[in-house]
Structure 1
Amino acid sequence: MRILKVGETAGRGRPVAALLLAARLRWYGVETGRRIFRYWKAIFLAVALLSPLAMPIVEQSRLIGTPVGVLFDPEHSFFWRFAWMAWLEVCAVAWVHVQHDAISGGAFAKYMHALPLAPSLMRRVDLAVLLIADTPLFAPIFATAITLGAESQPFIHGGVLCGLVLAVCAVQVAVLDRDARWLAAVGASDALLAIGAVGHGVGAVGAIGVSLIILGVALASLMPTQRSGAWIWPHQVTTAHVLRRLLPSVPPLVKISAHVMTDTCRTANMTRALLLLGLVAGSVALMSLWGFDQRSVPLALIADAFMAMIVASAYRDLYREHARAAQYSAALPIGRYAQARADVLVVIALCLPFAFVLSSAIAMHRSWDEGARCLSSVIGLIALIAAMRVPSVKAPEHALVLNTLLAGVWVASVWRVAI
């Protein structure tokens, strides 16, 4: 059987690469469109609240490019810039992991494995899909390029931005392929880029040039020779195995819900975990900016309400997965509300660690009395998360609005106790 390579045609004279890319992009568009349509209310609310429509175009570009533009601030040290670049790459890996089902090709990828296609062709298609999926990540880089276009060092700034794009792609490919051989090279290139970002003259240009060469070699080495292509995220150790070893006394229904949360719906729950982590980090940063004054406790309550709304969306995933197995579970001696109670326990367990972090931060920086009041509000948070299951399951189309009303009533009720 002849192996089709890059540039060859198949069917109606169209190149094989174009056919594969069109099929992969169609799958990516369908999967992404389903997720956007599912959470369109939350996306619309976030865009309406955060979009700076009243700003001029230049100010919007500067605001969008802030995460990348801070690399060129000479006030920051080398270690700060290096750590910030590593954090940007971690965010890029999380972005790919959240949507790896759409990027990998799904059911079409299984069909591609049976075709006589060259590995290099498969990898080029993979990279093309990855670059398109990374378009939102590259928006801050393009905005920074527009903002710094009139600066006096275009070669240095342009080289650092190109190096950042290559580093993001290299670390994503390395993580998706579970090939960590070149992660150290990416770290070395990050160090050189951090040196050249605020440097001057030939030294800065040389450091950036060496980093670009390292990243180019790393990407070239990641091109497969005898591999089949499309990315499938591997999970060698399942959650059920971990729960059997570490938590033998956990009820079986709770293990089922935990397995659904971490294995079956791992992409959605990775997104929720990242949102919770970002919410806690932003709240603690704002508290530290305020000096942990009297505004910290109300902010913690509002953050708790937002965390409850985030984790409450997991009820729909759990209910859908239980409905798929309803014919089998109906034959088991399970109570009517037993699985619902297990779902509530698992969702609460997802939210409580983040809520305790906020309360502990207040207790350490203010007083133990206020920290104890915030910890007591966590009991009310448990009741709020449990109450949010009803609209999430019974009225999923209006769950966002109803849960927002519940969160507002909860904040107003707990405000008098905690403050």
Structure 2
Amino acid sequence: MLRRHWQALILSVLLLLPAMPVFAQTRILGAPVLAALAPSHGMQWRFVWVHMLEAVGMLWVLAQRGAITGGAFATFLDSLPSSHARRRAVDIAVVLVASTPLFLPVLAAAVALAFLPQKATNYLFVLDLLLITLGWQLTALSRSARNAIPLVAANVVLVGALQTGDTIRPALLLIPLLLAAFAIAHKPVASTSWSGWPGARSRRVMGCMRANVVQNLSPVTRLQIGIVWDRAAGVFARYLVMGSVTASTCFLLGLWNFDTRAVPLTLISQAVIALIAATTYRDLRAAHLHAGQFMRSLPIAEAAQPRADMLTVAALALPFASVAPLLLAAHGVLPLWLAVALLCSGAPLLALLYFPQRYTPRQSVLLGTMLAAIWVAAVWPLFT
């Protein structure tokens, strides 16, 4: 997992500029964490913002749940006579390793706080936020809601402590620290699957509905739908990230009143959405390799599977990629046919992003970013 994340860390470090002061750069990189400490924000805003930061951490580990929990090796691990405390320690260590790219804003915020007053209080807040996020990640992986109660209470006290005076604030910030530590150390005995949940009748109804909907589809289409459905957590996490990119783009377009920056921003947004959606290629590839013997027994041409993967990724990205171009057409920035052409111009990029994910998965982040930058530079003169 560390080898998988080094590219993202290097790309983030490349954002550092030698000519910019260290304090300014750390404030930029640590902005997500430092925003909650800004005195201009109210309690409601901080409450929502803290939960959004923690939700990012939860979605980050849910997208890697198979790798973090051990996959098929977890069955063998359950048969070993190891204590709950030792397993919990292993879970914490693996989740921390898996979350290494998320530590960059936290480390940058810690450096930036060294230049600000009230260091003890601010560092307590950052430590509380880090431990609460870790608690939520472990709760999401164990699929048990028993530890959610102390974590919710910790969030309420954490946000409420920021509204109090400087004298009582450090003492209040110690309470979320203790609650988060309890949630992290305590491992509830719960099943790691959804089979124990009530609602067998509703599952049968949903199964009948899915069978009736997909019975007229081709076998390849049903196969792709089944793979996406089996990895619903990762797909949902990508949907949330693509939705955030789309919402941010629409917000900036409205803020800039659809001026000359609208089309370049839309192109960059299209490239980012393509990069996020292209990570689905890895899930599809892993599913095909896992069922390799079965796949080779099907009467499917060798070139049909990559084409089906590209169409699947394009279908997942289309709802988000089409928002900004259609918004430009609705406000008269581009004619409708040109907005459709801008949307369709992203298809070659999605097809090209298949090859780094297929042949060089360890370098896919770096190569994909380079391909996206080249695509933006190539289509920029055509629409601006």
Normalised by the shorter chain, which TM-score bucket? 0.7 to 0.9
Asked whether the equivalents of residues 61 and 143 of structure 1 are also in contact (C-alpha less than 8 Å), the reply is yes
Residue 372 (structure 2) pairs with residue 407 (structure 1): no
Q: Which has the higher mean CA deviation after the structures are superposed, 194-203 or 252-261?
A: 194-203
Residue 321 (structure 2) pairs with residue 355 (structure 1): yes
Alignment of 1:40-189 (within 5 A): 40=7, 46-47=11-12, 50-106=15-71, 108-149=73-114, 151-189=116-154
Deviations 1:300-345 (A, max 9, x none): 1332244335544645664565466565445444456544443332
Q: Pick from 142, 155, 166: which aligns with 1:190? A: 155
Matches of 1:340 and 1:135, distance apart in 2? 32
Matches of 2:369 and 2:149, distance apart in 1? 47
Q: Which runs of 5+ in 2 are unaligned?
A: 196-202
What residue identity is the alignment partner of 1:296?
A
Matches of 1:157 and 1:372, distance apart in 2? 52
Structure 1 residue 172, shift from structure 2 partner: 1.3
Deviations 1:155-175 (A, max 9, x none): 432332232122112211221
Asked whether the equivalents of residues 91 and 138 of structure 2 are also in contact (C-alpha less than 8 Å), the reply is no
What residue identity is the alignment partner of 2:217?
V
The aligned counterpart of 1:263 is 230
Asked whether the equivalents of residues 253 and 262 of structure 2 are also in contact (C-alpha less than 8 Å), the reply is yes
The aligned counterpart of 1:244 is 211
> What SS does the aligned partner of 1:127 have?
helix
Asked whether the equivalents of residues 185 and 215 of structure 1 are also in contact (C-alpha less than 8 Å), the reply is yes
Matches of 1:66 and 1:339, distance apart in 2? 42
Matches of 1:70 and 1:360, distance apart in 2? 32
Deviations 1:337-364 (A, max 9, x none): 5444433321210110111222344356
What residue identity is the alignment partner of 2:187?
M
Asked whether the equivalents of residues 189 and 215 of structure 1 are also in contact (C-alpha less than 8 Å), the reply is yes
Deviations 1:108-150 (A, max 9, x none): 5433322212222221232233334444434433433333345
Percent identity reads 30
Distance change (3 Å), C-alpha of 1:133 and 1:147? same
> What SS does the aligned partner of 1:180 have?
coil
Asked whether the equivalents of residues 308 and 384 of structure 1 are also in contact (C-alpha less than 8 Å), the reply is yes
Structure 1 residue 90, shift from structure 2 partner: 0.4
Structure 1 residue 386, shift from structure 2 partner: 4.9
Distance change (3 Å), C-alpha of 1:352 and 1:149? same
Q: Which runs of 5+ in 1 are unaligned?
A: 1-30
Structure 1 residue 76, shift from structure 2 partner: 0.7
What residue identity is the alignment partner of 2:222?
K
Asked whether the equivalents of residues 144 and 190 of structure 2 are also in contact (C-alpha less than 8 Å), the reply is no
> What SS does the aligned partner of 1:287 have?
helix
Matches of 1:185 and 1:194, distance apart in 2? 14
Distance change (3 Å), C-alpha of 1:406 and 1:149? closer
The aligned counterpart of 1:286 is 252
Asked whether the equivalents of residues 73 and 198 of structure 1 are also in contact (C-alpha less than 8 Å), the reply is no
Matches of 2:76 and 2:368, distance apart in 1? 38
What residue identity is the alignment partner of 2:29?
I
Structure 1 residue 277, shift from structure 2 partner: 3.8
What residue identity is the alignment partner of 1:223?
K
Deviations 1:267-311 (A, max 9, x none): 5x5675465345434433433442322321232133224433554
The aligned counterpart of 1:10 is none
Matches of 2:345 and 2:356, distance apart in 1? 18
Matches of 1:394 and 1:202, distance apart in 2? 58
Q: Taking structure 1 as the reference length, what is the TM-score of the superposition? A: 0.72
Matches of 2:279 and 2:335, distance apart in 1? 30
Q: Pick from 297, 305, 329: which aligns with 2:263? A: 297
Residues paired across the two proteins, number: 372
Matches of 1:324 and 1:102, distance apart in 2? 14
Matches of 1:192 and 1:166, distance apart in 2? 14
Distance change (3 Å), C-alpha of 1:259 and 1:32? farther
Matches of 1:390 and 1:105, distance apart in 2? 27
Residue 221 (structure 2) pairs with residue 254 (structure 1): yes
Distance change (3 Å), C-alpha of 1:307 and 1:65? closer
Matches of 1:104 and 1:394, distance apart in 2? 26
Cα RMSD between the aligned structures? 4.0
Structure 1 residue 97, shift from structure 2 partner: 1.9
> What SS does the aligned partner of 2:39 have?
coil
Asked whether the equivalents of residues 72 and 198 of structure 1 are also in contact (C-alpha less than 8 Å), the reply is no
Asked whether the equivalents of residues 243 and 255 of structure 1 are also in contact (C-alpha less than 8 Å), the reply is no
The aligned counterpart of 1:344 is 310
Structure 1 residue 82, shift from structure 2 partner: 0.7
